[in-house]
Amino acid sequence: MKTLYIDCSMGVSAGMLAGALLDVMPDQAAVLDEWNALQIPGVTFAADRSSCGVAGAQVSVKISDAQITALRGGCEQLDFDDFISRMALSEKVKQDVLAVFEILSEAEQSVYGEDHAEHGFLGEKLLRTIAEVIAVCMLMNRLSPERIVASAVPVGRGTVHTVRGVLPVPTPATAYILRNVPVCGGLSEGEQCTAVAAALLRRFAVEFCEIPSMKISQIGYGLDENNGAHSRFTRVMLGEHADSTDEILELSCNVDDMTGEEVGFALQEFLTAGALDAYTESISMKKSRPAVKICVLCREKDKEAMVSIMFRHTTTLGIREARYKRYTLQREIRRIQTPYGVVRRKDSYGYGASRSKYEYDDLAKIAKEQNLSIDEVLTVIRQS
């Protein structure tokens, strides 16, 4: 499975992420041409090969003096959806761009109040942000990884000067976007993750963790355009994550002289001893007698134990064995902070598929404590 890992440990911004992704592209000049062909008003993309301890791509967005003057003088009202829809972007890229700005808008309206949202008027800062977000989304679309994973996010420390005055690091908007994401203080004073970068990570990354097991084929570095005393860069690793396959055994027998209670007890014994699964099927045996087929799935190392349990706790005189190749999704249990406390969630992925499911026992406990239905509990958790 083609996997992209975003290493944010030295900081992350939209420009640094764009540089890191550009750094793994085989034809960077063609990418720049594609960006500039969009003809974003007054915007020119450029990229340099530079070094801040490591060599990488440094992406810059230049806005013409004429455009800056026009923006400062006009305060042009922006219909953002229309602005993006008129660009020569694929539908997938347009959806990604709009989704990133929706995340930003929600955060700013939540923490600053609707009157302070920045996206009502087109200014120099917003135009630069739009260009950087489009660049990242186009690169993600070009690379098309099946799975995107990011490291814990360093937010920095101290304070930062913004258009809203001096704010703590992470800024309120960044902190809002990074809810339920692993974060750390970072290596230096100042802001190490911008709100725009946080929104991009939330849009694309399905998980935040250590580097997954993968065969790395390419590594890219995106350098900070304004590197000072402390070098900053974002690193991406592109490679293959092996999908999971293994071999399992099925042990089965047919019985027609056991009670339901006895069959249930035997199934529980299999599971307690480490069976992957144990279940029954309704069958008819000779002379049309109704009967039960008892099936146990297990690994090779557990076979002898399962055979012993099957002979001990069933009335069978013989056991069948079949071998199967099994394809499985990778599974991880994550502890998610919710308004009701920590809830376990099983995340599964592989073979181009991914899904998540909250643990039933945790949901049932909350539903009883809060006098809610499980569906109502899930609604609250998903909206938090």
**Gap between the Cα atoms of 297 and 276, Å rounded:** 5
The count of residues in the chain is 384
Q: Does pLDDT of 288 surpass 50?
A: yes
Give percent of the chain above pLDDT 70: 93
Give the pLDDT score at 134: 96
Give the pLDDT score at 227: 59
In this prediction, residues 84-103 reach a mean pLDDT of: 92
**Gap between the Cα atoms of 298 and 277, Å rounded:** 7
Q: Which helix (H) or strand (E) holds 188?
A: none
**Gap between the Cα atoms of 370 and 380, Å rounded:** 12
Mean pLDDT of the chain: 89
Lowest mean pLDDT among 42-51, 250-259, 369-378: 42-51
Give the pLDDT score at 180: 86
| Three-state DSSP state, 129 | helix
Give the pLDDT score at 77: 63
Give the pLDDT score at 116: 40
CA quadruple 141, 96, 198, 178: dihedral sign: negative
Query: pLDDT tens-digit profile of 164-202?
Result: 888 898 999 999 999 989 998 877 788 899 999 999 999
In this prediction, residues 344-372 reach a mean pLDDT of: 90
The two counts, helices (H) then strands (E), for the chain are 12, 22
**Gap between the Cα atoms of 192 and 186, Å rounded:** 7
Give the pLDDT score at 118: 46
Q: Does pLDDT of 121 surpass 90?
A: no
Give the pLDDT score at 249: 96
Give the pLDDT score at 320: 97
**Gap between the Cα atoms of 134 and 122, Å rounded:** 16
pTM equals 0.66
Give the pLDDT score at 117: 41
**Gap between the Cα atoms of 40 and 58, Å rounded:** 20
**Gap between the Cα atoms of 267 and 233, Å rounded:** 55
Query: pLDDT tens-digit profile of 207-235?
Result: 888 888 888 999 999 998 775 445 689 99
**Gap between the Cα atoms of 37 and 186, Å rounded:** 37
**Gap between the Cα atoms of 374 and 384, Å rounded:** 16
Q: Does pLDDT of 308 surpass 60?
A: yes
Give the pLDDT score at 298: 96
Which of 65, 60, 61, 39 has its CA nearest to residue 50? 60
Q: Where are the alpha helices (DSSP H) in 4-90?
A: 14-23, 28-36, 65-74, 80-85
Query: pLDDT tens-digit profile of 264-287?
Result: 999 999 999 999 999 999 999 988
Confidence of residue 76 (pLDDT cuts 50, 70, 90): low
Give percent of the chain above pLDDT 90: 59
Under 8 Å between Cβ of 1 and 238: no
Which of 217, 225, 154 has its CA nearest to residue 24? 217
CA dihedral 329, 333, 339, 340 (to 10 degrees): 120
Lowest mean pLDDT among 103-117, 150-164, 351-365: 103-117
In this prediction, residues 41-56 reach a mean pLDDT of: 86
Q: Contacts for 366-373 with beta carbons within 8 Å, 24 or more apart?
A: 366/340, 366/341, 369/340, 370/340
**Gap between the Cα atoms of 96 and 212, Å rounded:** 25
